[in-house]
């Protein structure tokens, strides 16, 4: 695996930005914008086709400079009858940097306001799916960086209009094969249309063989006829939007609160229930927690998910001005020389931008940290610490008219009356009811009958708070096998944390403070030698852990059934869960909230199919083919 190869900006003789692979296009800047309108908007009968819809989805096969996207955004924003939410999915193998896009977009001053917002939210150039919320969250741009042919197979969406804006067949033949066109057909919603500025017989034949009726249309110029088409298949709508946007959310930790925020932003009316007197009193109660990705040389699922979650968390911070966090950086030090070599190998293999991750030697690590260390390791310049409770408070405060918080409301069981779910207390009184329920109850989720089969287990973790004046100053978060330390927060430096599986005791233990001090002394010799374990305090949290250390997110399966495929496993209607965050609640929360909302809404998903399957609750019920039931 290697990183992306970015595109590099160049210009034609008249100063028009040049789009790589489109060297046969000879238009001025004005002509390129008009072409975007004529070929892709007019060719897909837009804006008329999105009018009156709740959701409309467009997929573009090559984002390039983003001109087609900006033209679409401009037309959508100017349309008083526009759809409530517009999804725009764009594939791009060689993306431009934000800097190059900003320079290029100067050629279109009429798009300046939209382009500036796009540049501000543009993601780092890393492989995978990146989701940008624009126009107050009503326009969702899903960028898919990497090889278009393989990435198309990893998408889950119902596309209403295709912009086949790719280099010519001669420049990139893989994008015009029958296999690729069948991939487009797989994603097509009923009545989907397409438009392309490329018109040659092999392209027409491939699209026709992939269930599209295609025909030649007058192009933007007489020299360049275009192609339009429509899906022939009369398949049913496999991605309907929910008609009733009312839901209960059980649990007011970081999982439940970020999910409530994301759902409320999408127009849902929510009742959030928690047995505690306030949000973030369980595993999300720590004064601060570290956040950073976890790389691997083979970029395994955990590596990809923590990177995606790390970037999604950063994007969420921009929406929460009241959240407490610090991008002070995070150092993950190697255990020994062999581990350090493995860390360096992973950074080389991944070849990601230095702003995401770097490898540093012991001397550089010591300089970054402001404290001597014996080993080098991973350096995450934009990592740092977050106060989970501040995220919870900001999330719940964002939409007070849509999120009804009910604390001291302990749920004993869930029941379905044939139309909706009811949350009942220990006296069998109905606390609240709604067609949808999201279980985000952390360690307590398996007390509910619908999840009592889930192999989630509890791990007790104790964090120690050290008086800042008695411990050595550090500039960044530092982590290692022996524990972690967080720079000063409210006069304290946090170290930890212990982990005891199956232990549900929430009282602080002197022995655990001693273990935390011993671990930090091994990681940072001389850091806190003046502190005795019986002089400090801390916090205890019960973490909900999954056997494979990945979150558990999606529709809750009917555990009384059996099967060997996630796709066909029966689900309990309207019941969802976002569970199993373990010690990575900060990294997982924003991404998992987005994934859950997308699953409930049947929107395009923010992760590749294999990662979505890796998080599905039913994965723990799947029996290998041929096994006994």
Would you say 425 and 250 are in contact if contact means Cβ atoms under 8 Å apart? no
Helix pair 201-209, 178-187: axis angle to 10 deg: 50
pLDDT digits (tens, 9 = 90+) for 520-532: 999 999 999 989 9
Q: Decide which of 235 and 257 is more confident.
A: 257
Query: What pLDDT score does 169 carry?
Result: 63
Looking at 298-312, 547-561, 614-628, which range is the least confident one? Answer: 614-628
Mean pLDDT, the chain, as a whole number? 93
pTM (2 decimals)? 0.95
Task: Give the confidence band of 170 by pLDDT, cuts at 50, 70, 90.
Answer: low
Query: What pLDDT score does 168 carry?
Result: 62
Per-residue pLDDT, averaged over 160-177, amounts to: 78
Structure tokens at 362: 């012991």
Place of tokens 């959701």: 55
- % pLDDT > 90, the chain: 83
Check pLDDT > 70 for residue 223. no
pLDDT digits (tens, 9 = 90+) for 394-447: 999 999 999 999 999 999 999 999 999 999 999 999 999 999 999 999 999 999
Query: What pLDDT score does 167 carry?
Result: 62
Check pLDDT > 70 for residue 626. no
Three-class secondary structure of residue 205 per DSSP = helix
Query: CA nearest 253: which of 217, 289, 227?
Result: 289
Query: What pLDDT score does 222 carry?
Result: 64
**What is the distance of C-alpha 343 from the center of its chain?**
25
The total of other beta-carbon atoms located within 10 Å of residue 628's CB is: 5
Query: What pLDDT score does 628 carry?
Result: 44
Query: What pLDDT score does 43 carry?
Result: 96
Cα angle vertex 339, ends 338, 342, to 5°?
A: 95
pLDDT digits (tens, 9 = 90+) for 595-613: 999 999 999 999 999 999 9
Structure tokens at 128: 């995978």
Per-residue pLDDT, averaged over 278-303, amounts to: 94
Cα separation, 607 vs 597, whole angstroms: 12
Three-class secondary structure of residue 414 per DSSP = strand
Task: Give the confidence band of 27 by pLDDT, cuts at 50, 70, 90.
Answer: low
CA distances (Å), 521 to each of 290, 336, 485, 508, 528, in order?
A: 19, 16, 11, 20, 7
pLDDT digits (tens, 9 = 90+) for 114-158: 999 999 999 999 999 999 999 999 999 999 999 999 999 999 999
Provide φ and ψ at 198, rounded to 5°: -100, 130
Cα separation, 190 vs 57, whole angstroms: 12
Cα separation, 378 vs 347, whole angstroms: 8
Three-class secondary structure of residue 216 per DSSP = strand
Query: CA nearest 98: which of 123, 128, 133, 62?
Result: 123
Would you say 82 and 47 are in contact if contact means Cβ atoms under 8 Å apart? yes
Helices (H) and strands (E) in the chain, counts: 15, 31
CA distances (Å), 551 to each of 335, 367, 472, 545, 579, in order?
A: 26, 35, 35, 8, 6
Three-class secondary structure of residue 129 per DSSP = strand
Sort 489 into a burial class: Cβ within 10 Å, 0-12 / 13-18 / 19+.
middle
Structure tokens at 374: 């014996």
H or E element at residue 601 = helix 585-601
Structure tokens at 546: 């999954």
HSE-CB for 292 with a 13 A CA cutoff: 30
Would you say 104 and 95 are in contact if contact means Cβ atoms under 8 Å apart? no
Structure tokens at 10: 């160049």
Cα separation, 142 vs 90, whole angstroms: 6
Would you say 91 and 152 are in contact if contact means Cβ atoms under 8 Å apart? yes
Place of tokens 């959030």: 272
Task: Give the confidence band of 388 by pLDDT, cuts at 50, 70, 90.
Answer: very high
H or E element at residue 178 = helix 178-187
Query: CA nearest 152: which of 212, 92, 77, 194?
Result: 92
Cα separation, 379 vs 289, whole angstroms: 17
Query: What pLDDT score does 238 carry?
Result: 82
Domains and CATH numbers, the chain: 10-231 (3.40.50.150), 246-281+389-456+547-620 (3.50.50.60), 327-383+457-545 (3.30.9.10)
Query: What pLDDT score does 16 carry?
Result: 82
């Amino acid at each position: 695996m290697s990183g992306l190869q970015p595109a590099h900006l160049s210009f034609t003789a008249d100063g028009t930005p040049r789009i790589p692979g489109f060297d046969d296009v000879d238009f001025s800047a004005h002509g390129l914008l008009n072409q975007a309108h004529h070929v892709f908007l007019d060719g897909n009968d837009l804006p008329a086709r999105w009018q009156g819809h709740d959701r409309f989805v467009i997929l573009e096969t090559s984002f390039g400079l983003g001109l087609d996207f900006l033209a679409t955004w401009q037309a959508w924003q100017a349309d008083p009858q526009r759809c409530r939410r517009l999804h725009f999915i764009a594939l791009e193998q060689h993306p431009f940097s934000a800097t190059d896009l900003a320079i290029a977009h100067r050629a279109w001053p009429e798009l300046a306001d939209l382009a500036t917002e796009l540049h501000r939210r543009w993601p780092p150039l890393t492989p995978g799916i990146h989701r940008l919320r624009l126009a107050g969250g009503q326009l969702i741009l899903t960028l898919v960086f990497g090889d278009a042919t393989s990435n198309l197979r990893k998408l889950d969406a119902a596309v209403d209009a295709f912009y086949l804006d790719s280099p010519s067949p001669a420049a990139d033949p893989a994008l015009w094969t029958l296999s690729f066109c069948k991939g487009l057909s797989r994603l097509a919603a009923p009545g989907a249309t397409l438009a392309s500025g490329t018109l040659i017989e092999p392209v027409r034949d491939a699209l026709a063989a992939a269930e599209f009726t295609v025909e030649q249309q007058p192009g933007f110029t007489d020299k360049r006829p275009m192609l339009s088409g429509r899906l022939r298949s009369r398949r049913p709508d496999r991605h309907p939007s929910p008609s009733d946007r009312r839901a209960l959310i059980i649990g007011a930790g970081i999982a439940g609160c970020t999910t409530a925020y994301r759902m409320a932003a999408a127009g849902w009316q929510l009742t959030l229930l928690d047995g505690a007197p306030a949000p973030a009193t369980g595993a999300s109660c720590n004064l601060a927690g570290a956040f950073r990705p976890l790389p691997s040389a083979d970029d395994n699922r955990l590596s990809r998910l923590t990177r995606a979650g790390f970037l999604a968390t950063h994007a969420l911070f921009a929406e929460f001005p009241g959240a407490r966090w610090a991008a002070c950086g995070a150092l993950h030090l190697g255990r020994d020389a062999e581990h350090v070599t493995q860390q360096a190998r992973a950074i080389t293999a991944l070849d990601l931008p230095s702003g995401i991750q770097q490898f540093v030697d012991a001397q550089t690590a010591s300089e970054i940290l402001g404290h001597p260390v014996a080993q080098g390791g991973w350096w995450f310049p934009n990592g740092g610490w977050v106060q989970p409770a501040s995220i919870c408070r900001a999330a719940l405060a964002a939409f007070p008219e849509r999120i009804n918080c009910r604390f001291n409301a302990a749920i004993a069981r869930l029941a379905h009356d044939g139309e909706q779910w009811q949350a009942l207390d220990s006296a069998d009184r109905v606390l609240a009811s709604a067609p949808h329920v999201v279980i985000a109850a952390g360690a307590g989720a398996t007390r509910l009958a619908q999840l009592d089969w889930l192999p989630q287990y509890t791990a007790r973790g104790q964090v120690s708070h050290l008086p800042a004046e008695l411990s050595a100053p550090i500039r960044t978060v530092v982590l290692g096998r022996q524990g972690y330390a967080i720079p000063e927060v409210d006069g304290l430096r946090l170290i930890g944390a212990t982990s005891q599986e199956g232990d549900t005791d929430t009282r602080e233990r002197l022995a655990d403070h001693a273990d935390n001090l011993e671990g930090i002394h091994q990681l940072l010799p001389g850091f806190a030698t003046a502190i005795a374990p019986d002089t400090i305090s801390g916090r205890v949290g019960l973490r909900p852990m999954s056997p494979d250390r990945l979150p558990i997110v999606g529709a809750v399966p009917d555990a009384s059934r059996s099967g060997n495929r996630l796709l066909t496993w029966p689900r309990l209607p309207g019941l969802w869960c976002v569970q199993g965050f373990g010690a990575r609640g900060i990294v997982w929360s924003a991404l998992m909230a987005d994934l859950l909302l997308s699953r409930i809404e049947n929107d395009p998903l923010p992760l590749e199919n294999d990662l979505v399957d890796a998080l599905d609750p039913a994965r723990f019920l799947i029996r290998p083919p041929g096994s006994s039931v």
